[in-house]
Structure 1
């Protein structure tokens, strides 16, 4: 499935936004795959998030979580085979899956848990102190006059300093 939007004019007129356009293009291409497995994304607080995925039938050993370059990759692959089993009805999905979540800057995975068929992934935004906004104190004009008084005055005669 091809994207309904053509981003090529935007590529020609912008610089440095290619990752954003790639994400938009990727999200429309993977729309059909994005429905499996079902998941929720919750905002728990100002900088805390929780992803919950329904992965019934998968064990922790069959699920791989990887965070790399602003993305969280969740891959599920069943290791046991169903050889020798005869199903009259098969309604529990055990197909492999791959889900990619694009993360904002400074968002890190802080924990993951698999319980009752639900995989929960905890995320937190941790902005480094150097990048946080800081208040800058403004000096008054009186402070500037005091700075000038500390310097030695220089007397100039006929273009020469004395």
Structure 2
């Protein structure tokens, strides 16, 4: 039995990748750690198009414990804290050393401008250039 989706219309050609991306995003949306914001920024000098910023709350992580990378069409942020291996004796431990991976699927053409860690917040700036409008005339051939 085949699966029906919004992309199974015969008028939507070549959208198989988008369907796979939506499946992947819906599975990853259940994990709420670390919390994050996505905001639209005013345009900066030299940047055409829209500017975006993703900010993740990564309190307790140092710069060396965080990794930001672009993998295919995804922005992947990883954090890895090591346990102190019994060096401390806790009376109460409410702040656990934990690892995370958060991935954001990027549309084609989005550029990652940079990342900044300040006051426990990791900010990643992105730019979405304005797409060029392409109009192409298709010649119609005749066969007699």
Same fold by TM (over 0.5)?
Answer: yes
* SS of residue in 2 equivalent to 1:8: coil
Q: TM-score if structure 2 supplies the norm length?
A: 0.74
2:15 is aligned to 17
- Once the two structures are superposed, the pairs formed by residues 1-162 of structure 1 within 5 Å of their partners are 8-10=3-5, 13=9, 15-33=13-31, 35-45=32-42, 46-78=49-81, 80-84=82-86, 85-127=88-130, 132-133=132-133
Cα RMSD, aligned residues only: 2.4
Show the counterpart of 2:139: none
Q: Which has the higher contact order (CA 8 A, sep 6+)?
A: 2
Q: Which runs of 5+ in 1 are unaligned?
A: 1-6, 136-162
Q: Which runs of 4+ in 1 moved over 6 A?
A: none
**2: CA distance, partners of 1:77 / 1:12:** 40
Q: Distance in 2 between matches of 1:42 and 1:94?
A: 28
Unaligned runs of 5+ in 2: 43-48, 136-144
Aligned residues: 124
Higher helix share: 1
TM-score by length of 1: 0.67
Bigger Rg, structure 1 or 2: 1
